[in-house]
A and B are shown apart, each in its own frame.
Chain A
Amino acid sequence: MIRAGVAGVLCACLGVLAWRHVAGIRSPRPALPRMVVEGSKPGGSSTVSLHGTLTSRAYAHAEAVSRGADAIVIVLRDRDRRACEDLGRQLRELQREAGPRMLAMVTTDSAASEMYVRYLRREHVRATVVVLSPDSVLEGYPGLPTPAVLVRHGTSANGVAHPVRFPNLRLISFAAELRPLLR
């Protein structure tokens, strides 16, 4: 009787594993970022469109910051702050476009969070800095290109990334590209 029970449990476990394996193969993977190249426009290039679902941790942070409302999620790696001379201007423009109603959070890893607080204060960007690796913001995007700005609505997030550096000035800004999502 006991043997039969153990065998049944084993069979059930094997069945679940087999089903998960098959389901994993058959279920669609998250869409990869779409590349949109703007090579013809001076000062603009390599905008990466991003569409995805917030991870549970990113969602929890966004909920805490915006209390259920839409929010701007700015995803930065340390190199973005060092290399992008135009980031401050772009983020201020983005906030003006979004208006005071839409709150912003900056996600970055723990090593850089204090630097970001100082950087954002100096650049007069009002945003809550949360410690969350850029690789853990969107489901299925461990190598999320940055700097990225997402507009989150519930668990979904849409936005763009500017992974190609332009010294001092990027004419096509986050605000210009995300205008339809910010209204």
Chain B
Amino acid sequence: MRIQRILHSLVLGCLLAACAHDEHGRAGRAGRRTLQLENVVALDDAGQPILARPERLSVGRDGSLYIADFSDKNVKVYAPRGRRSRTVGGPGRGPGEFQALMTAQVYGDSLAAFDFLDRRLSVFAPGGRFARTIPLSRLGFAPFSVRVVDDSLFLAIAAMPGGERNDALALVRPDGEVVSTFFKLSRYLGSSPMVLQNVGVIADATGGVVFAGVAGGDSVWAFDYEGRRLGAAPVDPVAPLVTTRALLEGNGGKLARGDGSYVVDGIRNLVGLVAIDSGTVAMQVAPYDANTGTDPVEGGTFIVAALANGRLDTIARGELQGALAGRDRQGAALVLRYAGASQDRYTISRLRIAAAATAGSGAP
């Protein structure tokens, strides 16, 4: 009787697993599951200058929220309930100051922030005081951005043009030692300076996997920390992206058309990428405005892809307001969006994969 019950449970378990696998597979191929936002916290700047151009959001061990502000050249820190608690760094050229703050993320109990113009990765102590810089001189390229992977690794991302000639990604230890380099893009991007000036690498890593794409490209790749390719796929299989290279080559290598408009204007671009866990990546695609740039906070198409058997399959897709900005400590992607039409307050939401959409429900 007991053996029969165990066998019954095993069969039921296998059936459920098979159903789940089938569901996952079908969802992957068709992108049938959609995405929803679940509010986490509303930000309150408490009378201080509000977040102007958020670039990256991360969550500290105590639940504090750290957001790099590219325009204000500082890092705005919010208590777990959303009230602004302090500001780290500021505009300038001295230690702990920024000219072009590309990203800032929690690093252990500290904060690591990268300045593109100074090529400087600064570490701030828990209280916000500048502590030291992490050397990046052993990289084989000029970094455009640096992501915190974990307490012992950073992911350096090469600037274009220049970075395409060698590997465009490198994993670096806090003492500056380069662990691995990979992601050679010369064949994918070509050598046209016009193409290279209008593309940029976007990458993130966690749990042993690096996910990478190109703003101005059409694909996403996954690598292990040794740089071995684990899989690749189109960023958006439902509505494939058109590459900047194809657009420029179709216009005789020129950015501007005869009427003065730009070939890249209005084209859907990869604007955000967050590694959720060792097998899943969240991406944001939004139309590119050649005149004013893209404001990711205005939203776009969000795509979640999962790595399995050497493939990256889209498992969910949806149109959402907000910018894909980071992940929480439980591994959920976080989205930063405006709280209202006045755009003077933000909320942070968690990206959730919703149940499969029924046929004809309108979900893409």
Specify which chain B residues have a CB less than 8 angstroms from the CB of A92 in the assembled complex.
49, 52, 71-72
B91 contacts A171, C-beta separation under 8 Å: yes
**What band does the interface of chain B fall in when counting residues whose beta carbon is under 8 Å from A?**
20 to 34
Contact A169 B92 (CB under 8 A): yes
* A:85-123 near B, CB below 8 Å: 85-86, 88-89, 92, 96, 115, 118-119, 121-123
The answer to whether B291 touches A115 (Cβ under 8 A) is: yes
Those of B39-68 within 8 Å (CB) of chain A: 49-50, 52-53
Decide yes or no whether B209 CB sits under 8 A from chain A: no
Residues in A neighbouring B98, C-beta threshold 8 A: 169
* Nearest CB of A to B72, in Å: 6
Q: Verify A123–B71 contact, CB threshold 8 A.
A: yes
Q: Any chain B CB within 8 A of the CB of A167?
A: yes
A168 in contact with B117 given A96-B49, A124-B50 (CB within 8 Å): yes
Residue of A nearest to B344 (CB): A124
Give the tally of cross-chain contacts (CB within 8 A).
53
Complex Cα–Cα for A86 and B49 (A): 16
Query: How many A residues have CB within 8 A of the partner chain?
Result: 20
Which residues of B have CB within 8 Å of A123? Answer: 52-53, 71
Q: Does A8 contact B (CB under 8 A)?
A: no
Whether A169 pairs with B73 at a CB distance below 8 angstroms is yes
Alpha-carbon gap, A119 to B289, bound state (A): 11
Contact of A118 among B73, B93, B289 (CB under 8 A): B289
Q: How far is the CA of A84 from the CA of B327 in the complex (A)?
A: 31
Are A171's CB and B100's CB within 8 A? no
Residues of A within 8 A of B53 (CB): 88, 122-123
Chain A contacts to B: CB under 8 angstroms: 42-43, 81, 85-86, 88-89, 92, 96, 115, 118-119, 121-124, 167-169, 171
29 A-B pairs, CB-CB below 8 angstroms?
A42-B93, A43-B93, A85-B100, A86-B91, A88-B52, A88-B53, A92-B52, A92-B71, A92-B72, A115-B291, A115-B292, A118-B289, A118-B291, A122-B53, A122-B293, A124-B50, A167-B99, A167-B100, A167-B117, A168-B99, A168-B117, A169-B91, A169-B92, A169-B93, A169-B98, A169-B100, A169-B117, A171-B91, A171-B93
